[in-house]
Amino acid sequence: MSTSRSQEKLGESLNLVTTLLEKQRIIEALTHKQESKNKELIESLVHRQNLALLHKKIRDLHPADLTHIIEVLPPADRLVVWAELEPHHGAQVLLEASSSVRESLVAATERPRLVALLAQLDPDDLAYVSESIEPEVVAEVYRSLDAREQSVFRSTIAYPDDSVGHLMSPECVSVRDAWDLGAALEDLRRRAELPPHTETLFVVDARNVLRGALSLKDLLLRPPSAPVSAVMSTDVLSFTPRERASDAARAFERYDLIAAPVVDERGKLLGRLTVDVVMDFLRREAQSEALRRAGLSGEEDYFAPPWTSARNRWLWLSINLLTAFVASRVIGLFEGTIQEIVALATLMPIVASIGGNTGNQTVALLIRGLALDRITRANTRHLVQKELVVSLMNGAVWGTVVGLCAVALYGSVPLGLVMAAAILLNLVVAAMVGCAVPLVLHRLGRDPAQGASVLLTFTTDSMGFFIFLGLARAFLV
Amino acid sequence: MSTSRSQEKLGESLNLVTTLLEKQRIIEALTHKQESKNKELIESLVHRQNLALLHKKIRDLHPADLTHIIEVLPPADRLVVWAELEPHHGAQVLLEASSSVRESLVAATERPRLVALLAQLDPDDLAYVSESIEPEVVAEVYRSLDAREQSVFRSTIAYPDDSVGHLMSPECVSVRDAWDLGAALEDLRRRAELPPHTETLFVVDARNVLRGALSLKDLLLRPPSAPVSAVMSTDVLSFTPRERASDAARAFERYDLIAAPVVDERGKLLGRLTVDVVMDFLRREAQSEALRRAGLSGEEDYFAPPWTSARNRWLWLSINLLTAFVASRVIGLFEGTIQEIVALATLMPIVASIGGNTGNQTVALLIRGLALDRITRANTRHLVQKELVVSLMNGAVWGTVVGLCAVALYGSVPLGLVMAAAILLNLVVAAMVGCAVPLVLHRLGRDPAQGASVLLTFTTDSMGFFIFLGLARAFLV
């Protein structure tokens, strides 16, 4: 029994693999430099021994750990390990890797090996990875499937990425409502193996319509003569393939589900959704959200070539430059005023910066609220009013503080007053725009995390400069 | 059977509750205005009928749904619903609510009712909520527990918030390694009920030391005469109470666990950790991370009074103002230069802004990498080099673009060259600081999400102004 310390074990495996790869690199460097036949032979033996050790180490790892190791290795090392994997391991790694890493592996794999790997996958998993793979390769693997597998494949790719249908697995155990527990038990015993996470069996009628759920616990503890329909629970939460995966994930969290049935519109059992798939989905969502807010596509490979990474960031950079230019043109309108009072140039970034930061707090609160369904039509007005009041309070307090600093620095009371008023007004603008942007994006069916910050910062910068320099021109010049 | 549509059902419940509360408010307004005895009597009857309806509706809801409804209601409505809850429901809501909402409920509850509610909780759950409750109240409930419960309570509060010990539950089913399956089955039948998520039974020896795990599936499918020790799996991942909850959560995700045993340092079974608790933990972490990045404490109640919310945001605001002031003083050093070439004031925010945005992309990538253990000592150099190369590429491309725009706007080639050089240099600064800040915070054992952005923006603003205005003074004046 391996008691605990999964982290440590994984760290050790990673170190060992890295060391083996390092040795290998030294050997390769040596063989490259020293051309003597004899030397080469010896090195090649050591090399082979080393690879054999790597091969053995890799064979014993859990696929999830293997995937992790492959993802943290730089590209050259990654491919050495990848080449050593046996087909069933390789297939699992393809399945578990992030899409950018998966694509780098697929690109480095000869077609016959790739076909052999993919043939190891369940048809629903094949459908899941098929986006990263050339259509002809997928077609070749598809032709090797039997009719039932082909139909599972087809129905899985038919559903969009973020739907229950895309994540569900057809692999589930059902029993008939007309049976007694003894017959159900008999049926289970005929199966060699139950799929993981089978805490509950689904109960269907003769037409395969879902009627309820029977826990293994009840099957164990109740008398074999009891009818399934009397023991089963009928209050089962089920999903349809068209439902959004994020709604299903929220239900899993809320009701602590392990596995839930997926049914078609007539209630017929199609498959099931399990908590491990839901957790993976939630993790991918959370990660990609954090990156998308910084203007990165969800899945950048840490070891993609710099040129690819540079271009990945261009869309965001160009939007950012465009908004910065517009804000800069706002300043341009007041160049005459700045020439007269150069302190304005020094102080104006403070007004813009404090607006952007408080506005981003409001944006973060609203995005979280929308993601958790905490923001409803009924309480939106209450929330917006509250953010407005908070911004007025903060504007009054911090506007005064900054205004006094400006007076101390430049000895001009009117300048301090303009500064204080500009901060108060810009905080109000920030609160209003910080509420409006996520709410509007959400109502338009867009993702509020993507783009909210750019729009907000654009407004608080431009308005901050405009309010501050405009007040200065009106009252100071 | 309730087929699907959990979201819709929840929405309906929320609407119904809101409508009932709305009616109630109208009735209260009426009774307040119209003082005639007769009128009052009628209203009071309607009022009572209305409350009874609310009470009935609430009684049938799942505790998770009730908690959700309570969290989205504004404070006054929240307390009306809260007052209607029966003790066992109220206890579940206290357990599931976010800590800020929990505190608002506790503050509004009379001590006897609070004690009655808390007495409904399991001792480990009581320990979990006890932070939000006055020590004397907790002590009163504690005295009503039996000796075993008291010991569970004490050991749970002894572990820090983010440890396995704090999240584990003592409620788990174990069987003896010396038994056969028939005896194990017999033992299970003697229990009235198994705890949820019991897909697997833990196998212990005579000294309660964990020896393996026995799945219900094997218990069902293997002959009753088989010895437990022959059927059980010995490769069980277990945790110790002192391990970090986030490490355990990562193991749950990686190995698709449903429940895992928690053992003390001698291997004795203490309890278990289940996937529902782990999912809650992960969700809380993900949420609070997003808010902490915007400088908010993890758990702001949407309906906290504005004054509380305003003060919650002060620490961040004052840090932000301080850094903005420093950046502004950098500009102050160059006021003479700006007075000569006022275009510098107009263009300088572009240099600062593009630096901040690209730096934040680097920060987001590194924080995600650190959170997922993708960044190791071995690959850090590779990553930093890559970010540097990316920033040089982007600096060259976008520096040229912006430089050309500056030339077009102000007709000065030297100004365009200074602008291009400043952008290139500031992007390099942004990449280096964007890598360094999360890595250093992480190595110091701090949370890289908190504070990384402030430090980064501070540097890219100050350095952006300094580089641009410095180059301008050197080459343009």
pLDDT tens readout for residues A79-119 = 888 888 888 888 999 988 888 888 889 988 999 999 999 99
Q: Say if the ipTM goes beyond 0.85.
A: no
Q: For A320-332, give one letter per residue: b (16+ CB within 10 A) or e.
A: bbebbbebbebbb
Residues in chain B with CB shorter than 8 Å from the CB of A14 are: 376
Residue among A255, A275, A327 whose CB faces B349 most closely = A327
Contact call for residues B332 and B339 (beta carbons, < 8 A): no
Q: Chain A: residue nearest B337 by CA?
A: A342
Compute the count of residue pairs across chains A and B with CB atoms less than 8 Å apart: 357
Residues in chain B with CB shorter than 8 Å from the CB of A211 are: 1
Amino acid at residue number A442:
H
Span A427-438, average pLDDT: 94
Q: Distance (Å, rounded) from C-alpha A74 to C-alpha A82?
A: 12
B376 at the A interface (CB within 8 A)?
Answer: yes
Of residues A4, A322, A271, the one with CA closest to residue A123: A271
| 0.90 exceeded by pTM | no
For residue B51, the model assigns a pLDDT of 73
Q: Distance (Å, rounded) from C-alpha B317 to C-alpha A355?
A: 10
Q: Please state, in angstroms and as integers, the Cα–Cα distance from residue B364 to each residue in A308, B254, B437, following that order.
A: 18, 22, 11
Q: Which CATH superfamily is domain A313-475 in?
A: SLC41 divalent cation transporters, integral membrane domain (1.10.357.20)
User: For the domain A6-161, what is the CATH code?
Assistant: 1.25.60.10
Q: Which of A130-139, A441-450, B329-338, B359-368 has the highest mean pLDDT?
A: B329-338
Q: Chain A: residue nearest B73 by CA?
A: A379
Q: Which top CATH class is A174-283?
A: alpha beta
Contact state of B65 with A254 under an 8 Å Cβ cutoff: yes
B319 at the A interface (CB within 8 A)?
Answer: no
Residue among B18, B74, B237 whose CB faces A6 most closely = B237
Residues in chain A with CB shorter than 8 Å from the CB of B400 are: none
Residue A2 pLDDT more than 60?
A: no
Residue A32 pLDDT more than 60?
A: no
Span A442-457, average pLDDT: 81
Contact state of A254 with B62 under an 8 Å Cβ cutoff: yes
State residue A308 phi and psi, 5-degree precision.
-60, -45
pLDDT in tens, chain B (477 residues): 444 455 566 667 777 777 777 766 666 655 554 444 555 555 555 666 777 777 777 777 888 888 888 888 877 788 888 888 888 888 999 988 888 888 889 988 999 999 999 999 988 889 888 888 888 999 999 999 998 889 888 888 888 888 999 899 888 889 999 999 999 988 888 886 788 888 889 999 999 999 999 988 888 888 889 999 999 999 899 999 999 998 899 889 888 889 999 999 999 999 999 999 998 888 888 777 777 777 776 566 677 778 878 877 888 888 888 999 999 999 999 999 999 999 999 999 999 999 998 898 898 888 888 877 778 777 888 889 999 999 999 999 999 999 999 999 999 999 999 999 999 999 999 999 999 999 998 888 877 777 788 889 899 999 999 999 999 999 988
Q: Please state, in angstroms and as integers, the Cα–Cα distance from residue A383 to each residue in A309, A369, A387, A438, following that order.
A: 39, 10, 6, 13
Amino acid at residue number B192:
A
Residue among B189, B320, B342 whose CB faces A353 most closely = B320
Contact call for residues B195 and B185 (beta carbons, < 8 A): no
Helix (H) or strand (E) holding A168: none
Contacts of residue A472, Cβ cutoff 8 Å, sequence gap at least 6: A334, A337, A341, A344, A415, A418
Residues in chain A with CB shorter than 8 Å from the CB of B71 are: 374
**A264-293 residues touching B, CB cutoff 8 A:** 267, 275-276, 279-280, 282-283, 286-287, 289-291, 293
A328 at the B interface (CB within 8 A)?
Answer: yes
Residue range A374-429, pLDDT digits in tens: 787 778 888 899 999 999 999 999 999 999 999 999 999 999 999 999 999 999 99
To test the contact with chain A by mutation, choose from B2, B6, B77, B362 the residue with the greatest count of A C-beta atoms within 10 A, namely B6
To test the contact with chain A by mutation, choose from B272, B333, B361 the residue with the greatest count of A C-beta atoms within 10 A, namely B361
Nearest chain A CA: its distance from B287 CA (Å) = 7
Q: Distance (Å, rounded) from C-alpha A21 to C-alpha A76?
A: 10
Topology classification of domain B6-162: MgtE N-terminal fold (1.25.60)
Domain coordinates in residue numbering, chain B: 6-162, 174-283, 313-475
**B82-121 residues touching A, CB cutoff 8 A:** none
B169 at the A interface (CB within 8 A)?
Answer: no
For residue A299, the model assigns a pLDDT of 62
B402 at the A interface (CB within 8 A)?
Answer: yes
Nearest chain A CA: its distance from B228 CA (Å) = 15
Residue A345 pLDDT more than 90?
A: yes
For residue A89, the model assigns a pLDDT of 87
What stretches of A12-68 adopt beta strand conformation (E)? none
Residue among A310, A328, A354 whose CB faces B320 most closely = A354
B430 at the A interface (CB within 8 A)?
Answer: no
Q: Chain B: residue nearest A14 by CA?
A: B376
Contact call for residues A466 and A330 (beta carbons, < 8 A): yes
Residue A467 or residue A443, greater confidence: A467
8-state DSSP, A239: B
What count of other Cβ atoms lies within 10 Å of the Cβ of residue A344?
Answer: 25
Residue range A330-341, pLDDT digits in tens: 999 999 999 999
Span A50-59, average pLDDT: 76
For residue A40, the model assigns a pLDDT of 55
Q: Distance (Å, rounded) from C-alpha B89 to C-alpha B426?
A: 57
Residue among B71, B318, B383 whose CB faces A302 most closely = B383
By the 10 Å C-beta count (0-12 exposed, 13-18 middle, 19+ buried), A209 is classed as: middle
Contact state of B221 with A189 under an 8 Å Cβ cutoff: yes
For residue B38, the model assigns a pLDDT of 53
Q: Tokens representing A182? A: 């003894």
Nearest chain B CA: its distance from A432 CA (Å) = 15
Which residue, chain included where needed, has tokens 């052999």?
A: A116
Q: Chain B: residue nearest A376 by CA?
A: B72
Quick one: angle between helices B75-84 and B37-59, nearest 10?
Answer: 70
Contact state of A216 with B220 under an 8 Å Cβ cutoff: yes
Q: Tokens representing A142? A: 């598809």
To test the contact with chain B by mutation, choose from A13, A164, A256 the residue with the greatest count of B C-beta atoms within 10 A, namely A256
Q: Distance (Å, rounded) from C-alpha A143 to C-alpha A124?
A: 15
For residue A42, the model assigns a pLDDT of 54
Average pLDDT, chain A: 85
